[in-house]
Structure 1
Amino acid sequence: MNAAHVGDWLCGHALTASDIDCATTVMLKILDGKCKMGAVDKTVMALLYDAVKHRPGERFGDEYHRLIAAARAASSEGMRNLIYEKRVLAETMLSRPVMKTFKAMLREQGLFAGLSEDDESLA
Structure 2
Amino acid sequence: MTSEQVATWLENHPLSPLYIDCTVAVMLKILDGKCKMRPTEKIVMSLLYDQVKYMPSQLLDETLHSLIATARDRLDDEVFKMLIYENRLLAETAISRPVMKKFKAFIREHGLLESTEET
Q: What TM-score, normalized by structure 2, do the two folds share?
A: 0.91
1:111 maps to a residue whose letter is: L
Unpaired runs of 5+ residues, structure 2, are: none
1:86 maps to a residue whose letter is: N
Counterpart in the other structure of 1:119: none
Instruction: Give the distance between the partners of 1:46 and 1:31, measured in 2 at CA.
Output: 10
Unpaired runs of 5+ residues, structure 1, are: 116-123
Instruction: Give the distance between the partners of 2:94 and 2:60, measured in 1 at CA.
Output: 10
Q: Match of 1:62, SS?
A: coil
After the TM superposition, which segments of 4 or more aligned residues of structure 1 sit over 4 Å from their partners?
none
Counterpart in the other structure of 1:104: 105
| Identical-pair percentage | 53
Counterpart in the other structure of 1:40: 40
Counterpart in the other structure of 2:56: 56
Counterpart in the other structure of 1:120: none
1:20-39 matched pairs, under 5 angstroms: 20-39=20-39
Compute the displacement of 1:61 (Å).
Answer: 3.4
Provide the aligned C-alpha RMSD in A: 1.2
Counterpart in the other structure of 2:14: 14
Instruction: Give the distance between the partners of 2:61 and 2:78, measured in 1 at CA.
Output: 24
Give the number of aligned pairs. 114
- Whose relative contact order is higher, 1 or 2, with alpha carbons under 8 Å and at least 6 apart? 1
Instruction: Give the distance between the partners of 1:34 and 1:18, measured in 2 at CA.
Output: 21
Compute the displacement of 1:73 (Å).
Answer: 1.9
